[in-house]
Amino acid sequence: MDYEHDIFISHASEDKDFVRPLAEKLQNKGYRVWYDEFSLTVGDNLSESINKGLSESRFGIIVISPNFMSKSWPKSELEGLVQKEINFGKVILPIWRNVSHQEVLKFSPIIAGKLASNTSKGLDKVVDDIIAALIKAGVNSNYINKPKENPSLKLQTFDFQTVKLSVERDSSGKSIIKSNFYEHQANYFVEDLGFGVKLEMVEIPGGTFLMGAYESEKESKDSERPVHHVTVPTFFMGKYAITQEQWDRVVNSCPPVNRQLKPRPSYFMGNDRLPVENISWYDAVEFCARLSQKTSRNYRLPSEAEWEYACRAGTTTPFYFGDTITDEVANYDATYVYGNGSKGNYREQTTPIGSFPPNYFGLYDMHGNLWEWCLDDWHENYEGAPTDGTPWFDNNDDLFQKQGYAVLRGGSWNYYPVHCRSAYRTYYVRAGRDNIYYRNGFRVVCAVGRSLQ
């Protein structure tokens, strides 16, 4: 029998301070967990939802505590789990919290003879004990829906043209911006998301680069300094920002990992190839978690260093196409100029992915269109920043527990050209006012220790 959930957690509401982080850690390990705060939505019938959760879960975890044993309902829920264990091979894993063996024995002789863990050991040890108990009970990969080690990748090659802008003077001394095009190739692989929807992931070869901007760069900021060397391992990055059809496909085909997502959250609609926007950092992280489960690869947001390295693609100029920017190579508020640039159109909305030439790695729209979320906590400058390409977190690397501000990169359709520079960085609260998010989107990365076929 196939089960909708791997684990059902039964507990008293007074124990949520322990149960919530327990459920989150089990989810982060790849388990599909039925837990009321994650699984119930407004309007659900509590009793029916619990019975449904019980029937659709292979394993039951019961947090036995004085709070739990004082309730009137645990007996029936417990009996239901025991009967399912007998009839259908389910497994009950009790966790004792602030109770003695005699108290549990008096409450339920059956439960007293079972023990997955004791919370006095600490949360991490409890999680390890639960996983060990599940494995001992015969759990294997057929029952645990967690991302596996990245499977083999079938790489393909695509050809593309990049553009380099140069500023020249005509006979009258007026500046003229010329576009010079160059042929390039890049490796990539394709994820099939179903119903004809594809996700193209471009190989970004590892290397060392100078991150940030010197004071000599026009309109650069102190937050972009000190300039420092960063060595980035090879990884794969989305050829484009995540589109509305990709978002819709993943959201509608994958169960929630940590939060609910809207299938169609974007402010600008009418074209499936428009990038998805109007989403928070938490929404983007949830999307990556679902995509990881769907594909059995490890997808996430890029670190800030990975993003800038991928954007620059070996260049040191303010933009990957040179020292200036025009509305022919990016989507931004072109009524403003940067350097020797010229005024252009302000489109006042996002443009479909791939509307402008890519950079030398084969990535599109890294300048303008939408701000792109990065994993990192915001820092005022680069003092003490990592030099190995990893995300810069202050003290908590549990993504589902992150608070505060996250980094945004790349500029947006309604921002000035200076904000589109490769080195420009800003921030926004991870969860805030929804009406601001129509400026924010994201692309995914896949860091793989891979075998190729």
pLDDT digit string, tens, across residues 331-346 = 999 999 998 888 999 9
308: annotated active-site residue: no
- Above 80 in pLDDT, residue 75? no
pLDDT for position 38: 58
Kindly calculate the radius of gyration of the chain based on its CA atoms and give it in whole angstroms. Answer: 26
Question: How many C-alpha atoms does 445 have within 13 Å on its Cβ side?
Answer: 28
**Cα separation, 364 vs 351, whole angstroms:** 12
The Cα angle at residue 368 between residues 439 and 379, in degrees rounded to 5: 70
Quote the percentage of the chain above a pLDDT of 70.
Answer: 81
Q: Would you say 302 and 375 are in contact if contact means Cβ atoms under 8 Å apart?
A: yes
Closest CA to 178 of 167, 163, 194, 192: 167
Query: What is the arithmetic mean of pLDDT over 79-94?
Result: 59
According to CATH, where is 3.90.1580.10 located in the chain?
156-446
Express each pLDDT in 93-104 by its tens digit: 788 889 887 887
Q: Specify the pLDDT at position 145.
A: 42
Query: Contact, 95 vs 64, CB < 8 A?
Result: yes
Structure tokens at 258: 């940590």
Give CATH for domain 156-446: 3.90.1580.10
pLDDT recorded at residue 417? 97
- Residue 235's identity, in one-letter code, is F
Q: What's the topology of domain 5-136?
A: Rossmann fold (3.40.50)
- Categorise residue 396: left if φ over 0, alpha if ψ from -120 to 50, beta otherwise: beta
d(CA 419, CA 101): 63
Q: Please count the helices (runs of H) and the strands (runs of E) in the chain.
A: 11, 17
Q: Which amino acid, 227?
A: V
Paired strand residues for 198: 192
From 4, 48, 77, 348, the catalytic residue = 77
Average pLDDT over residues 96-124: 80
Lowest mean pLDDT among 43-57, 216-230, 232-246, 439-453: 43-57
**How much is the average pLDDT of 196-219?**
95
- Per residue in 237-279, pLDDT tens? 999 999 999 999 999 888 888 889 998 999 999 899 999 999 9
Rounded CA separation 82/143 (Å): 20
Amino acid at 294: K
Asked if residues 356 and 365 have their Cβ atoms less than 8 Å apart, the reply is yes
Write out the residue limits of the CATH 3.40.50.10140 domain(s) in the chain: 5-136
- Cα angle 318, 324, 325; round to 5: 105
80 falls in which pLDDT band (50, 70, 90)?
A: low
C-alpha distance across the termini of the chain, in Å: 33
Angle between helices 46-55 and 74-88 (to 10 degrees): 20
∠ CA 298-250-53, nearest 5°, is 90
Alpha-helix runs per DSSP H in 296-360: 304-312
Neighbours of 414 (CB within 10 A): 18
d(CA 86, CA 71): 24
- In the predicted model, is pLDDT for residue 139 greater than 90? no
* Cβ neighbourhood burial of 346 (10 Å; 0-12, 13-18, 19+): middle
Query: Phi first, then psi: what are they for 178, rounded to 5°?
Result: -105, 145
Q: What is the pLDDT of residues 215-243, one digit of tens each?
A: 999 999 999 999 999 999 999 999 999 99
**What value does the mean pLDDT take over residues 293-315?**
95
Q: 128: which DSSP letter?
A: H
Q: Which two tokens stand for residue 17?
A: 């301070």
Instruction: For 261-364, list the strands marked E by DSSP.
Output: 299-300
> Average pLDDT, stretch 361-375?
97
- Using DSSP, state whether 264 is helix, strand or coil: coil
Pick from 389, 416, 242: nearest CA to 318 = 416
Side-chain half-sphere of 437: how many Cα atoms within 13 Å?
22
CA distances from 211 to 226, 319, 330 (A): 9, 13, 22
